Every structure is written in C-alpha cells, then in structure tokens.
C-alpha cells in the first residue's frame, strides 16, 4: 500500500499561549502600542489610570480585529455581503478601495409586473 497526502486546513495552528495566533498577537501589539501613546500623554496630565484602560481597550480591539470574522446578520447590508470573512481583510480592502478612489457600479435587473 502507498501513502497518500491528505490536504487539511492548517491555518491557525501556529497559536501562541493557546489564544493568540501570530496575526492576532501582531494586531494586539499594534493596538497596545497606539494605546501606549495615549497613556504617555495622559500620564503627563496625571490621568495615568485612564491611559492604562485605553491601552487595554485598544489591545482588545486589535485582538478582535486579528482573530474574529464578520458575523452574518440580516440587520446590516454590509454584514450580509462580507459575512464569514476576516475583519482585518475587510478593513484592508476598504482602505485600498478608498485610496484608489475607484467607483464600482452594480446594476440590478428589476422586473416590472403589469397589474
């Protein structure tokens, strides 16, 4: 008998501390670094505890952007079109679209009924 290669999805197996994937760790570090700037400014003003909460909040936002996918909800048209895609990919495409200043037109065929 021969051996056969069985393809499998190995995305996300490179986890650090069982919570952070490499991408999520990078986004968390970037969010915390941006929060660190706010902490530095607020610490000069004597509001260091608020700056610490901003570090935690922006770090959490970075983790969420790097980890989760866009949910499929019917309340917003945006989430219906991007459901199941990574949040960071959606943000990257939106920024790229805005930088190109391109316009896309979507034509729909409407059916008229004679009443």
Nearest CA among 66, 83, 67 for reference residue 75: 83
| Residue ranges making up the domain that contains 46 | 14-68
Are 33 and 64 in the same domain? yes
Residues 66, 26 contacting (CB under 8 angstroms):
yes
pTM score, two decimals? 0.64
Domain count, the chain: 2
4 within domain boundaries? no
Residues 12, 21 contacting (CB under 8 angstroms):
yes
Which structure tokens are listed for 81? 């079109």
- The pLDDT of residue 115 is 58
Residues 79, 68 contacting (CB under 8 angstroms):
no
Are 93 and 55 in the same domain? no
All residue ranges of the chain with pLDDT < 70 are 1, 7-18, 78-79, 102-109, 111-115
Are 94 and 105 in the same domain? yes
User: Mind listing the pLDDT tens digit for each residue in 65-87?
Assistant: 888 887 777 777 766 777 778 88
DSSP helix/strand/coil, 15: strand
């Amino acid at each position: 008998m021969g051996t056969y290669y069985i393809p499998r999805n190995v995305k996300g197996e490179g986890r650090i501390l069982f919570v952070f994937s490499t991408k999520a760790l990078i986004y968390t570090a970037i969010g915390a670094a941006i929060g660190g700037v706010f902490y530095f400014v607020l610490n000069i003003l004597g509001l260091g505890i608020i700056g610490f909460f901003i570090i935690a909040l922006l770090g959490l936002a970075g983790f969420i952007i790097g980890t989760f996918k866009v949910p499929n909800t019917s309340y917003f048209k945006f989430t219906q079109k991007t459901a199941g895609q990574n949040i960071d990919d959606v943000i990257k495409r939106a920024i790229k679209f805005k930088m190109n200043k391109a316009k896309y037109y979507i034509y729909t065929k409407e059916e008229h009924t004679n009443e």
